Amino acid sequence: MVDTVDGIQVAGALLAAFAVTLVATPIARSLAIRTGFLDHPYGYKGHSMATPYLGGAAVLAGVLTASVLFDAAGAYKRMLAAALLVCLIGTLDDRVGLGVTLRLLAQTATAVALWSVDLGWTNLNSDSANLALTIVWVVGITNAFNLMDNLDGATGTVAAVSGAGIGALALMQGAVTLAVIAFSLTGACLGFLRYNLEKPARIFLGDGGSMPIGLLVACTIMAIPDGRLDWTLLFATAPLAGLPILDTSLVVTSRIRRRVPVMSGGRDHLTHRIYSLVGSTRTVALILALAQGALCGLSLILFQLDQAAVVAAAGAYIVAGAALIATLESAGGLLPRPEESRS
C-alpha cells in the first residue's frame, strides 16, 4: 500500500516536470530556430520541413527541476549528472556529428562510472560480471531508446509509460526517492509530447534527448531495490524497457537478414511498420503506450514471483518476441509510407 504522503510527492513531481517541460519546450524551440539548430529532411528522413532540435534539453529541465523540488536530486545526483552529461554529448552529436565510435565510448565510460559509484547491476556473483552486465545494459538501453526516436511521439510515449512502470515498482519497494525521478521522467515526456505530436511536429528530441532518456530508464531500473539480489532480477525488470529492446532486436535481425549495415538508417523499425498499417503518428503512439503499459504490468507481476516462475515467464516472452519478429519479417517488412517517417 502506497502511503498518501508518498503518493502526493510522486504526483507533485510528475506535475512539476510536466509543467516545466511544457514551458521550456517552446523556449528550446525558439533557441534552436535562432541558432539554426535544425534537423533537415534528407535521404530516409521523411519529415516535410526542417524541424528544431533541443527537445531533449526541455525534457531534462523538467526532470532535474522536479527532482530538486521533491528532494530526489541529492540521493541520485550522480545518476542525474550522468544524464546531463549524455544530454550534452547527444546535443553535440546533433550539431556536428560525433560518429558512432565516440558515442559508444562515451556511453561505455558513463556505464563504468555509474557502476563504480554503486549505480549499476549487483545481482551477479562477481564484480567483473556485474560491470560487464552494467555496460551492456546501459549502452544497450540508451541506444535502444535512441533508435526508437524515428517517428514523432515514439520515444517520448514509450519513455513516459516506462517511467510510470518503474515508478510504480519503486513505490512497491518503498523507494520513494527513486519513484520521484521515474515519475518526473513521465511528466517531462508528457509535456514534450504536447509539441512533438502536433502535425507537423514542432520540435524533435534529437540524440540530446533520446540518449539521456534511455540512460535514465536504464539507471532507474538498475536502482530498483530487491532483497533477493538473484540473477533473475534482469528478466523480471527487462519488460520495463521491453518495446525499445524489441525494436532494436527487430532492426538488427532485419538488417542482418537483408545484408544491410546494422548502423545505417532506415524505415524498418517497429514504429514504421505499425504506421504503415494505421497511417497516423498519434495512433502509433497510442498503440505503443498500450503495449508498453502491458509490458510494465508484466514486470510488476514478475517481480513478485520466485526464480523458477520468472525464468519460465522470461522464456515465454523471449519466444513471443522472436515469433513476432519472424512474423513481421515474413510479411515483407510492412513497408511504411514515406511521410512523417524520420529515421
Does residue 239 fall inside a structural domain? yes
**pLDDT for residue 7:** 85
pTM comes to: 0.93
CA separation for the pair 254, 193 (Å, rounded):
29
Q: Is 252 exposed, middle or buried (0-12, 13-18, 19+ CB in 10 A)?
A: middle
> What 3-state class would DSSP assign to 38?
strand
Q: Is 5 exposed, middle or buried (0-12, 13-18, 19+ CB in 10 A)?
A: exposed
CA 17 to chain centre: 17
* Contact indicator for 50, 39 with CB cutoff of 8 Å: yes
Of the listed ranges 43-52, 171-180, 261-270, 301-310, the least confidently predicted one is 43-52
Q: What are phi and psi of 39, to 5 degrees?
A: -95, 110
**Strand positions, DSSP E, 219-273:** none
**pLDDT for residue 341:** 42
Does residue 337 fall inside a structural domain? no
> How many domains does one find in the chain?
1
- Calculate mean pLDDT across residues 72-82: 95
Does residue 206 fall inside a structural domain? yes
Does residue 170 fall inside a structural domain? yes
- Calculate mean pLDDT across residues 49-59: 94
Whether pLDDT at 4 is above 50 = yes
Determine the structural domain holding residue 261 and report its residue range: 4-330
Report the chain's mean pLDDT, rounded to a whole number.
91
Q: How confident is the model at residue 162 (pLDDT cuts 50, 70, 90)?
A: very high
Does residue 39 fall inside a structural domain? yes
Does residue 132 fall inside a structural domain? yes
CA separation for the pair 338, 10 (Å, rounded):
40
Considering only residues 337 and 322, tell me which one the structure prediction assigns the higher pLDDT. 322
Does residue 277 fall inside a structural domain? yes
**pLDDT for residue 2:** 67
Does residue 235 fall inside a structural domain? yes
